[in-house]
Amino acid sequence: EECGAKVFFKAFRIHFRQATVLWLLMAFLGCMLALDYRIVVHLAFPGRIAVIVVICFCVLALILVSGLIFPLLVRFPGTLRDTVINAVLLSIAHLPKMLLVTAMNLLPALVLVVLPQVFVLLSFLWPICGFALIALYDLTVTDKIFAALEQPDPEAQSPDGELAPKGRTPGQQ
């Protein structure tokens, strides 16, 4: 088998263009939501709280999808449109797992805001092992999600245990 670095750089080269477009799209949407929030907070109108809740919901949805979109792009290459749609659908289908992934991804920011002294004290550990442990956790969760997708359908098995192609009976070729 190939070493990890060789596989990483090969995948990086193959998926660079699509990942860059996805990243720019997500950054644009995040900036637009942040700008909307800044504008709405300073305005005074009756439905202001409802608009703020909708913006916060959209930010949460963007964060949930961003936790799954890049692993999905690498694991199941396809068009950008299909990747985005599948990431949204999988995020909804596996909402509890994706909420845990989101919580782990936001953990450093939460520690910085809530306990800045602890963050500064542990700041030398974040680059060494903190981000790597969070990425390992994300990988473990997304692998479980993808493994459920890749399992063969038990209904598609023929009586003798062989897999039958979808749309055909086991005896057809």
Instruction: List, for residues 15-64, the tens digit of each pLDDT value.
Output: 899 999 999 999 999 999 999 999 999 988 888 899 999 999 999 999 88
Distance, CA of 66 to CA of 42 (rounded, Å)? 28
Does the predicted TM-score (pTM) go above 0.75?
no
Half-sphere exposure for 14 (CA within 13 Å, toward CB): 13
CA distances from 75 to 68, 83, 93 (A): 11, 10, 18
* Residue 37, both tokens: 């929030």
Instruction: List, for residues 73-123, the tens digit of each pLDDT value.
Output: 888 888 889 989 989 999 899 899 989 888 888 888 888 899 888 888 888
Nearest residue to 21 (alpha-carbon basis) of 60, 79, 62:
79
